[in-house]
Structure 1
């Protein structure tokens, strides 16, 4: 199956600065693909090259199998939703949605029909006569998408479109955007620095850092099977230690941290004497009132509760171990530890298979 979008060996330099460094990826038809990374990593540069606003230094961009490098932005079969939406406040909703169709010379009856269809598909029928400033933030987002989708692009580009919304509306719009993508059955390419947006909405996510893709995969792949230290630390919350490998047997490693703790973790390609980093998710750590309650766990520590961070189902404990390091632990919802308070002593443990280890200086540890 020919990808809707394919970028091949993309490089973009600005003088001596390399913003995008040999990036390749493909996006299957009808999928939701996100590029996730911190500010300045190069993700917006990639999107602007796809849209035609920037030319790559080297590499190719193909849509439906054909290169678009020589195609100007207004002739490419893509459209773009910007963070600030760029809706025209002097126009009605119908005039906003039909703007591109008028520019194409379509007849008024056909424009009216397509605008009405678009309003139905975004769940806002009958509001065509209203003005932009009469709409909520979420409604404006949907109108901006409808204005792009009536032009029937092969690929819709979304440049951090939720960034200007308040938290509650952003959470709502994550679900809305995924539903709209399915309703239009169009390929969406989405860029964001917000991992929650990418994890909730995407079929595939590319994690980008310093101009390169660290890993491309599903949200589950990135969260549970990170391939680089950067991905392990960037996706989700994690506890992190540095140390030296003491033993390596059958895929299980024993590491001595800089503070003197002995830990066991899974990992490959590491040998005794190697410097390494170990990552453990807060939800992988188990709590017990006594050390005996952690029998069978490869790693166990005792520590003092320094803070309780209540956030409903995502509540956390901060626990300081004997070496003075602070760990983040997901608080069980069973009620067993509801009476925990600052200063309490707790015992914590986790299995070697729930700890991921990478060589210090491995690809992605930038």
Structure 2
């Protein structure tokens, strides 16, 4: 499959500060690609180089197979939706959407036809004459996207466009953005610090940290098969233990944590006895039972006793905070089942989680 966007060893430095440190990526035609990372990781600098607002220190950008070296932003086959949308309040919806076409000198009749067609596709066929301040937040988002899509870009760049919306609207717009991308068939490149946005909408996600990509893969790969401790800790919720490898138990590593727990864990990378490690397990991988409940059959398990210190109600899956005998506080997902309904704060419980769900990484690879 052809790539609509390629970046080859992109570097962006500001004096001694390296904002982007040799990033390469390839975004297939018609896909939804997200760049996910914390504030200051370099994702905005990368997006600005792709858009043409910043010149790379070194490296190459290709859009639609064509080098963008020396090509100004308004000549690139890419458009950008900003976090604050930048809609013109003095223009109505149709004039906002048709602004770029007028700048290109297109005939009025063709502008009217294109604007009408794109309004149909975004589900706002009767909004052409409305003022911007008459629109809801979600409708403004769609108009901002339509203003870009009417120009038929090869790549649409989205710079945290949901950041200013309230939580409920943001959840709705995640689904709607994915549907719009599928409907238009245009390649979307989306930057965000919100992991749920990236996981829900994307075909592929690049996790960025300190100017570099830690891992690029499907949302499922990043969540279930992280390749670095940063990805394991940043994507989704995880409990982390620091420790050291003390040996092997069958296919698993034996790890002694800094608090003295002995865990069985799967090695996410080659590790040897004596190595310092970071061990991660996700709350939903931890089963909480009343102390003394039958063990049952299953894979190799880590089993620890503790006290249910607090219950945080969260609908179908509440969160249980358990204090282990050695003082560790561990969070676990607690489904609303009849057995779990009998557990209350102060109850003696057991935590059980499989060795295969307990991932060990070299602690030397963790970010400082």
Q: Match of 1:12?
A: 12
Counterpart in the other structure of 1:215: 215
Distance 2:253 2:21 in 1: 33
The secondary structure found in structure 1 opposite 2:254 is: strand
Q: Distance in 2 between matches of 1:103 and 1:23?
A: 34
Q: CA deviation at 1:250?
A: 5.4
Alignment-derived partner of residue 28 in structure 2: 28
Q: Is residue 328 of structure 1 aligned with residue 331 of structure 2?
A: yes
> In terms of mean alpha carbon deviation, does 39-48 or 332-341 score higher?
332-341
Q: Distance in 2 between matches of 1:51 and 1:142?
A: 20
Q: Distance in 2 between matches of 1:38 and 1:314?
A: 27
SS in 2 for 1:207: strand
What is residue 178 of structure 1 aligned with on the other side? 178
Question: Following TM superposition, by how much is the alpha carbon of 1:290 offset from its aligned partner in structure 2, in angstroms?
Answer: 3.0
Is residue 294–residue 348 contact of structure 1 (8 Å, CA) maintained in 2?
A: no
SS in 2 for 1:46: helix
Q: Secondary structure at the match of 1:302?
A: strand
Residue 250 and residue 212 in structure 1: after superposition, are their counterparts in 2 closer, same or farther (change >3 A)? Answer: farther
Secondary structure in 2 aligned to 1:102?
helix
Deviation string 1:127-163 (CA, Å, 9 cap, x unpaired) is 1000000000000000000000000000000000000
CA drift of 1:8 comes to 0.2
Contact 2:175–2:201, Cα closer than 8 Å, also in 1: yes
**Residue aligning to 2:275:** 274
Q: Please give the per-residue CA displacement for 1:45-85, whole angstroms capped at 9, x wherever unaligned.
A: 00000000000000000011111111111000000000000
Partners of 2:289 and 2:340 within 8 A in 1: no
What does the per-residue CA deviation read over 1:269-311, in whole Å, with 9 as the maximum and x for residues that have no partner? 1111111111001111112223453355421011111111111
**Cα distance in 1, alignment partners of residues 294 and 43 from structure 2:** 47
Q: Which of 341, 344, 348 lines up with 1:345 in the alignment?
A: 348
Structure 1: where are the runs of 5+ without partners? none
Say yes or no: does 1:87 pair with 2:87. Answer: yes
Report what 1:355 is aligned to.
358
Helix, strand or coil: the match of 1:33? strand
**Are 1:243 and 1:257, in contact at CA under 8 Å, matched by a contact in 2?**
yes
Answer yes or no: is 1:293 the counterpart of 2:279.
no
What runs of 5+ residues in structure 2 fail to find an aligned partner? none
8 Å CA contact 2:317, 2:336 repeated in 1: no
Give TM-score, length-normalised by structure 2.
Answer: 0.97
What is the alpha-carbon distance in structure 2 between the residues aligned to residue 237 and residue 313 of structure 1? 17
Question: 2:160 matched to which residue of 1?
Answer: 160
Q: Distance in 1 between matches of 2:57 and 2:29?
A: 27
Q: Given that residues 248 and 270 in structure 1 are in contact (C-alpha distance below 8 angstroms), is that contact kept between their aligned partners in structure 2?
A: no
CA contact under 8 A between 2:252 and 2:264: conserved in structure 1? Answer: yes
- Residue 317, structure 1, aligned to residue 320, structure 2: yes
Query: Superposed, which structure 2 residues align to 1:88-127 within 5 Å?
Result: 88-127=88-127
CA distance in 1, matches of 2:259, 2:295: 22
User: Within the alignment, does 1:142 sit opposite 2:142 as a pair?
Assistant: yes
The within-5 A match list for 1:28-107 is 28-107=28-107
Aligned CA-pair RMSD? 1.1
Q: Measure how far apart 1:338 and its partner are.
A: 1.2
Runs of 4+ displaced beyond 4 Å: none
Aligned mates of 1:257, 1:325 — CA distance in 2: 10
Shift of 1:341: 1.9
More off after superposition, 306-315 vs 202-211? 306-315
Contact 2:290-2:347 within 8 A present in 1 as well: no
Tell me if 1:201 matches 2:201: yes
SS in 2 for 1:337: helix
Distance 1:25 1:67, change over 3 A: same
Question: d(CA) in 1 for partners of 2:8 and 2:241?
Answer: 37
Instruction: Report what 1:305 is aligned to.
Output: 308
Q: Number of aligned residue pairs: give it.
A: 365
Pair 1:262–1:188, CA change in 2 (3 A) = same
- Distance in 2, Cα, partners of 1:220 & 1:164: 27
CA contact under 8 A between 1:244 and 1:256: conserved in structure 2?
A: yes
